[in-house]
Amino acid sequence: MPTVRYLLDTNMASYVIKGTVAPVRERLLTLPMSQVGISTVTEAELRFGVAKKPEAKHLKTVVEEFLLRIEVVPWASEAAKQYASLRAVLKREGTPMGNLDLMIAAQALATDAILVTHDQVFQKVRRLKTEDWC
């Protein structure tokens, strides 16, 4: 089981990669990198962003360097169980959210990680611990 304490959502990972949001960069510098990771779902989204822009060679390089330096947490069976439960609850409550965001939230719950996000949609997930580094 990974020891990642903070799981960055896709937008937060993008802020780290771009380095344009100073508070995010400053908070990241205070932590051991072993405590920070991303979901394989976020990896997929980052790679999709690169694939959409094949001419953006610098972007590809920066994303690949980021992926080399951060732990990518596999999406496992426990995350799938959390996902199924969360999706059912949100559907019953009439407050659905995007499946990729839901997968990331489920993974944070499954690994007992704090989800680092600037996205308010994650507030729908009751037991989810979040931090906004922006």
- The model's pLDDT over 43-99, given as tens digits with 9 standing for 90+, comes to 999 999 999 999 999 999 999 999 999 999 999 999 999 999 999 999 999 998 999
Q: What is the pLDDT of residue 1?
A: 43
In a domain? residue 50: yes
The residue segments making up the domain with residue 47 are: 6-131
CATH number at residue 64: 3.40.50.1010
- The model's pLDDT over 17-45, given as tens digits with 9 standing for 90+, comes to 999 899 999 999 999 999 999 999 999 99
CB 37 within 8 A of CB 72: yes
DSSP 112: T
Domain count for the chain: 1
In a domain? residue 80: yes
Of 133, 131, 78, 112, the closest CA to residue 3 belongs to 112
Q: What is the pLDDT of residue 125?
A: 94
In a domain? residue 97: yes
pLDDT at 2 over 80: no
In a domain? residue 67: yes
In a domain? residue 38: yes
Of 79, 75, 73, 77, the closest CA to residue 36 belongs to 73
| Alpha carbon distance 26, 71 (integer Å) | 19
In a domain? residue 1: no
In a domain? residue 125: yes
In a domain? residue 70: yes
Q: What is the pLDDT of residue 3?
A: 75
Q: How far apart are the first and last CA of the chain?
A: 28
Whether pTM > 0.75 for this model: the answer is: yes
